Structure formats: structure tokens, C-alpha cells
């Protein structure tokens, strides 16, 4: 079981090609704790079904208005209807329920306190999928990817009155996108996360990375390592990192490219864990810029078939989750949304959540820090990805770069996953190897995994013995696989004969299992779609997986029912994937309590 030299060389060439053309772009981290003006609320919108960026042969982003009674302008933002931002357009207007195409949003605002000593950036938490950003009639740039943040500077364009920000968003599906054309979740279009006008000094700390050096874990004096990235024309020679509770005030030298690397020795450091999610106030100062964050310090690693958190074995009592609030039938986009689903997970007995199948809102990661819940994060490298297209690899690396930049300092985030249910081929293996290498180059503080396929053995093992032999697992710290025995194939009692082997001395996570149930439908344990069938399935699945040598955790599919156009069975699914343990009305199914009881024993 290995990645051959030809595939590794191919991965290196793909990665080198990407690095040669990658454009430099300012990334602004920790927008929660910077000075900003929220641009959330009602935005005017204009439909662009032909995706031309023009209405009546006039560019929409110019915000054109008739200058006199004879002037021809064939659209009007002023007279247009409104959509809430953040939010999915599909869930706000019945006529947009299944709309896939372009919509142009406009938000107007005044900014009377403009300062020449400041810089201003428009920041978008996420918009699905392709975005074109304009400000006061000038094209700023484009962003691809439906779940990662982006920003553009508007310092030279902003004025005291009558600013207009126009963003065109296109959620059309394509074979050269991430995700590709077919997914088992709802294609929520629009500006789905917060929009902010960020204010920073002319020179500021754009990003920073701080973590506990795992080599010092067992020492009385531990070491924090990190890096600052500054942006500005006049860079200070020094910056500071301050942690008041630890009596740390560290001066850091800044190089000519705005980078400051540092290490800090610290005594009496309390480590972050689910049992004690300790967060320290960290202050970063550079010139006139001063910023605060709450950061926890922990280590995560593997040893043989164990996962070690802070040097101690941990069993990951998990659940999978989509980034929706099922009660609102919308993308999750607020602290209240995060608090709802994390509360359900805690009640279930979880210490771990798989954020599937794309980056979730930043609020849930920050709240997991506070509540002590470990996280698996991933990109939608999922069904139908065009592994042979180098442009798709560039998109994957760009999206992972944005995700790592955003969440590096979050102690709760412990696993990056590079794929879900993808079939091994030379092209796919080279693609994912390049992605793994890129992630390793950016972040050595987390583990790598992927939800792999499994094979039924024929080389001397019993017919009921499964092996996990995906060649990509050589690049992973954790072996993960999805298994729906009893739902897609066989009845639940078939689980009693199955066994699993990996042949590698690594921990195993069962990344998906489960079956659908309509909440409130009760029958017997063999009636499909009943809560009783799902309950029976969970009991048999848990007993089967509990026998796996090296089982270190699981994330059953899924915490709550979620929207999916693939699921249309009348009076049962009605556009919902019913594998949730909680219904779209917030009601718990019988299998919820089966898993809760199992986790009480772990």
C-alpha cells in the first residue's frame, strides 16, 4: 500500500505549477475583533438570468440612473425588491427556490468619519459561488468558492456620503468547480455570511499564527511559536505579543517583507481541552494597530492507533453536521445558529463534530473553542471532481489556504480532511497528494484525514471482512471511511458478520454511517423510514464498529435533517435528507438516545 514515485512526482509538479502563478492577496484575520461597520441587512437586488453582468446592454455594477426624462436605463436598484444579507436567496423568495444563476446585490451607506490614517476593506464572510465585487462603480475583483472569506481594499474609493457596494453572485454548478455539479445538499445561492467594512491603520497586522510547540508538551516550561504578517508601506521594526494572564510581553522583530517570527517560553500554561476549554486573551500590537483574540493552546498527534490530545488518548465522540439552521431552512450565519446545533451535539454527548462537507461559518468554530468541542474541517472535494484539471487543483489550494488562514488559531479545529467518497485513480491520487503537501506546508499543528472508500477483501480474508486500502492513506494521520451497511445494502442484522482491517498502524474514524427516518413515524424495526428502523440500525452499527481494532472515534451521519434536492420521496423526504437524529423542527428521534447512551460508556 503506497503512493508510487511517479504519482508523488506528479503531485510535486502540480504544486510547483500552482505556486508559480499564485497571486498575492491580503488576508485579514480575526474580523470579529476589529473595528468594522456591519453591512448586513436588506440589500436591493437585480436578477441576471443570462449571467451577462448587463441589463439592457448596460453594466449593472455602474448603478446607472436616468439623468433626464429621455435617458434610457433599463434597470433600477432604487425600485428593486430586497433580500436579507446574510442569507440564501433560495429560501427568501418562492420564485427563487431552485434558482441557479446570477443576482446582483446593492448596499448603500454613508461613512462620515473617514480618516487619512486608516485603510478600509470590504470583507465578505462567504458568497456562493462566484462573486464579482464592485465599489462606487469600480470593479474591485472576483472570488471563487462558496464557503471561504475574501476582502478588497476600498481606501481610495470610499467617500463620506452615498457609497454603493454592488456584488454579483452566481451559484451555477459546473464540472470544474469545488464542489462539482452534483451534491447531496442544497445549493444555497447568494451572500450567505456577514459583510463588513473593516477599518485598520495604514500599517496593520493582517494575520498571525500562534500555537503550542508539541516538542515542549512534557516540559515544565512550554514554548509558544508563531508568526505575524504585517501590511503597509511603512513597516515598524518591532511588534509585540502580549498575554496578560501569563505575564507575557514579547517584542518581535519585523523583517522588510512584514513578517515577524517568534517563540515564547511560558510556565504554568493551562492547556485547552473539551473538559477545560481554557482560552487566553492574546493582544497583538504593531505601530498603531492593536488587536485582541481569545486563543487556546493544545497539541494533537497520533501514536500508533491512538489519537493524543495534549499527550493523552482521546476517543472522538462525534457527529456530522451541515452548515444549516433547519428551523429557519437557511444557511447558518449567526452565533445563535451555532449555539443551537452545538447545544444539540453537547446534549448528545459529543466532544467532536465533523463540519461537512465544506467550511462552515466562523461563528461555529469560535463557539466550539468556548464550549470545548473538537472539530474536523474539510473542503467539498467530493463527487465528480475533475482531478486532471490543474485549474481545479489551484482552486482547492486557494480554498484550503483561506480556511487555514481563518481558523489556524482556533484550538477546537484539529483535523483537516482532504476528500470524501472519491475513487482512487492516478490523477486523483496525485491531486490529493499535492493538496496534502500544501496543507502540511502551512500547518503542522493539525492532523490530516479523508473519508475513504473501502474494499471487500478477496486475498484470503473472509467474505465479510472489509479492508481500507485507499493509497492516499499513506499521506494521512488518521484512516477514515464511510459505511452504510443496513441502509445502502443489506438489513441491519448484516452488521453482525462484518469486520474491518486497515493493515496500517494508524487510528481509525468511522466518518459516516446511519439511515433515514421520518420523525414521528413509528412502526417496527424492519419498516424503512420509521424511527424504529433507524434505532435498530444504530444499535447494530455501533456494535459492529466497536469491534474495530484501532477505533478512535466516529461521526455518524448526521446531527439534523438537512435540505437536499436529491431527496424527493413524497410525504417522507419532501426535499430533506432524513438521516438526521434531530428533525427540521428540532425534535429528537429515537436513535438520538441510542447514540447518547453509547457515548456515555466511552
So where are the chain's domains?
Answer: 34-201, 204-287, 309-600
Judge contact between 513 and 541, C-beta under 8 A: yes
Judge contact between 120 and 159, C-beta under 8 A: no
pLDDT of residue 373: 98
H or E segment to which residue 119 belongs:
strand 118-124
4-8, 104-108, 122-126, 574-578: least confidently modelled range: 4-8
Q: What's the CA gap between 292 and 117, in Å, rounded?
A: 21
- Tell me: pLDDT of 222 over 50: yes
Q: How many Å from the N-terminal Cα to the C-terminal Cα in the chain?
A: 32
> How confident is the model over 326-347, as a mean pLDDT?
97
Judge contact between 305 and 505, C-beta under 8 A: yes
pLDDT of residue 236: 96
pLDDT grade for 462, boundaries at 50, 70 and 90: low
- Tell me: pLDDT of 16 over 70: no
pLDDT grade for 163, boundaries at 50, 70 and 90: very high
Q: How many residues are there in the chain?
A: 602
> How confident is the model over 422-446, as a mean pLDDT?
96
How many C-beta atoms surround the C-beta of residue 304 within 10 A?
9
- Tell me: pLDDT of 23 over 70: no
pLDDT of residue 13: 47
Q: What's the CA gap between 154 and 119, in Å, rounded?
A: 8
Cis amide leading into 425 (omega within 30) = no
- Tell me: pLDDT of 541 over 80: yes
Q: What's the CA gap between 262 and 227, in Å, rounded?
A: 6
Nearest Cα to Cα of residue 188 among 100, 123, 104: 100
Q: Which residue has the cell 481606501?
A: 155
147-157 pLDDT tens trace: 999 999 999 99
> How confident is the model over 362-380, as a mean pLDDT?
98
> How confident is the model over 94-100, as a mean pLDDT?
96
pLDDT grade for 10, boundaries at 50, 70 and 90: low
pLDDT of residue 500: 85
Residue predicted with more confidence, 21 or 76: 76
Pick one of 1.20.58.1910, 3.20.20.80, 1.10.260.40, 3.90.105.10 as the CATH number of 309-600.
3.20.20.80
What mean pLDDT is reported for the chain? Answer: 93
> How confident is the model over 290-306, as a mean pLDDT?
97
pLDDT of residue 293: 98
- The string of DSSP codes covering 179-230 is S-S--SS----EE-S-EEEEEEESSEEEEEEEEE-GGGTTSSEEEEEEEEEE
pLDDT of residue 5: 54
Class of 34-201 per CATH? mainly beta
Q: How far is CA 426 from CA 10, 216, 433, 472, 585, in A?
A: 9, 39, 10, 10, 44
Nearest Cα to Cα of residue 516 among 570, 449, 423, 591: 591
Q: ∠ CA 178-124-326 to the nearest 5 degrees? A: 70
- Tell me yes or no: is domain 204-287 CATH 3.40.50.720: no
Cis amide leading into 357 (omega within 30) = yes
> How confident is the model over 132-138, as a mean pLDDT?
97
- Tell me: pLDDT of 461 over 90: no
Q: What's the CA gap between 118 and 559, in Å, rounded?
A: 44
258-268 pLDDT tens trace: 999 999 999 99
Q: Which residue has the cell 488518521?
A: 478
pLDDT grade for 160, boundaries at 50, 70 and 90: very high
Q: What's the CA gap between 373 and 365, in Å, rounded?
A: 9
Amino acid at each position: 500500500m503506497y503512493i508510487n514515485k511517479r504519482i508523488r512526482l506528479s503531485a510535486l509538479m502540480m504544486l510547483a505549477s500552482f505556486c508559480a502563478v499564485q497571486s498575492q492577496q491580503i488576508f485579514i484575520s480575526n474580523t470579529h475583533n476589529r473595528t468594522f461597520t456591519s453591512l448586513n441587512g436588506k440589500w436591493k437586488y437585480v436578477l441576471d438570468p443570462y449571467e451577462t453582468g448587463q441589463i439592457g446592454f448596460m453594466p449593472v455594477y455602474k448603478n446607472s440612473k436616468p439623468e433626464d426624462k429621455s435617458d434610457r436605463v433599463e434597470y433600477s436598484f432604487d425600485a428593486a425588491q430586497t433580500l436579507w444579507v446574510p442569507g440564501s436567496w433560495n429560501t427568501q423568495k418562492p420564485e427563487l427556490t431552485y434558482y441557479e444563476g446570477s443576482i446582483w446585490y446593492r448596499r448603500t451607506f454613508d461613512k462620515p468619519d473617514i480618516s487619512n490614517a486608516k485603510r478600509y476593506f470590504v470583507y465578505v464572510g462567504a458568497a456562493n459561488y462566484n462573486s464579482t465585487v464592485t465599489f462606487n462603480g469600480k470593479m474591485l475583483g472576483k472570488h471563487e468558492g462558496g464557503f471561504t472569506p475574501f476582502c478588497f481594499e476600498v481606501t481610495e474609493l470610499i467617500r463620506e456620503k452615498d457609497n454603493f457596494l454592488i456584488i454579483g453572485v452566481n451559484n451555477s454548478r459546473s464540472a470544474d468547480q469545488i464542489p462539482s455539479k452534483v451534491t447531496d445538499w442544497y445549493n444555497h445561492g447568494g451572500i450567505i455570511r456577514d459583510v463588513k467594512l473593516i477599518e485598520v491603520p495604514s500599517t496593520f497586522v493582517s494575520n498571525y499564527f500562534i500555537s503550542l510547540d508539541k516538542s515542549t508538551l512534557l516540559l515544565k516550561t512550554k514554548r509558544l511559536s508563531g508568526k505575524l504578517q504585517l501590511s503597509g508601506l511603512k513597516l515598524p521594526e518591532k511588534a509585540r505579543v502580549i498575554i496578560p494572564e501569563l505575564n507575557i510581553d514579547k517584542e518581535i522583530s519585523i523583517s522588510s517583507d512584514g513578517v515577524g517570527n517568534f517563540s515564547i517560553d511560558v510556565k504554568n500554561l493551562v492547556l485547552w481541552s473539551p473538559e477545560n476549554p481554557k482560552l487566553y486573551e492574546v493582544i497583538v500590537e504593531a505601530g498603531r494597530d492593536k488587536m485582541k483574540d481569545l486563543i487556546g493552546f493544545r497539541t494533537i498527534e497520533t501514536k500508533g492507533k491512538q489519537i493524543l490530545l495534549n499527550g493523552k488518548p482521546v476517543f472522538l465522540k462525534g457527529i456530522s453536521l451541515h452548515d444549516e439552521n433547519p428551523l429557519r431552512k437557511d444557511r447558518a450565519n449567526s452565533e445563535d445558529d451555532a449555539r443551537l446545533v452545538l447545544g444539540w451535539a453537547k446534549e448528545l454527548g459529543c466532544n467532536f463534530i465533523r463540519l461537512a462537507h465544506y467550511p462552515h461559518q466562523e461563528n461555529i468554530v469560535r463557539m466550539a473553542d468556548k464550549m470545548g468541542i473538537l472539530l474536523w474541517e474539510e473542503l467539498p472535494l467530493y463527487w465528480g471532481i475533475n482531478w486532471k484539471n490543474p485549474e481545479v487543483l489551484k482552486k482547492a489550494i486557494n480554498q484550503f489556504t483561506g480556511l487555514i488562514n481563518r481558523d489556524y488559531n482556533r484550538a477546537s479545529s484539529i483535523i483537516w480532511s482532504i476528500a470524501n467518497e472519491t475513487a482512487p485513480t492516478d490523477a486523483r491520487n496525485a491531486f490529493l497528494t499535492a493538496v496534502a503537501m500544501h496543507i502540511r506546508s502551512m500547518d503542522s499543528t493539525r492532523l490530516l484525514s479523508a473519508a475513504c472508500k473501502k474494499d471487500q477483501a478477496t486475498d484470503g480474508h473472509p467474505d465479510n471482512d472489509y479492508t481500507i486500502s485507499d493509497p492516499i492513506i499513506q499521506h494521512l494521520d488518521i484512516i477514515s471511511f464511510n459505511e452504510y451497511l443496513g441502509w445502502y445494502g443489506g438489513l441491519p442484522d448484516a452488521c453482525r458478520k462484518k469486520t474491518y482491517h486497515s493493515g496500517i498502524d494508524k487510528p481509525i474514524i468511522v466518518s459516516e454511517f446511519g439511515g433515514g427516518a421520518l420523525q414521528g413515524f413509528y412502526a417496527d424495526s424492519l419498516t424503512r423510514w420509521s424511527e424504529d428502523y433507524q434505532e435498530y440500525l444504530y444499535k447494530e452499527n455501533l456494535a459492529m464498529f466497536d469491534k474495530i481494532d484501532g477505533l478512535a472515534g466516529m461521526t455518524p451521519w448526521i446531527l439534523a435533517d438537512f435540505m437536499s434536492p436529491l431527496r424527493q420521496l413524497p410525504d417522507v423526504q419532501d426535499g430533506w435528507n432524513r438521516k438526521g437524529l434531530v428533525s427540521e423542527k428540532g425534535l429528537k428521534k429515537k436513535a438520538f438516545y441510542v447514540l447518547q447512551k453509547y457515548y456515555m460508556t466511552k
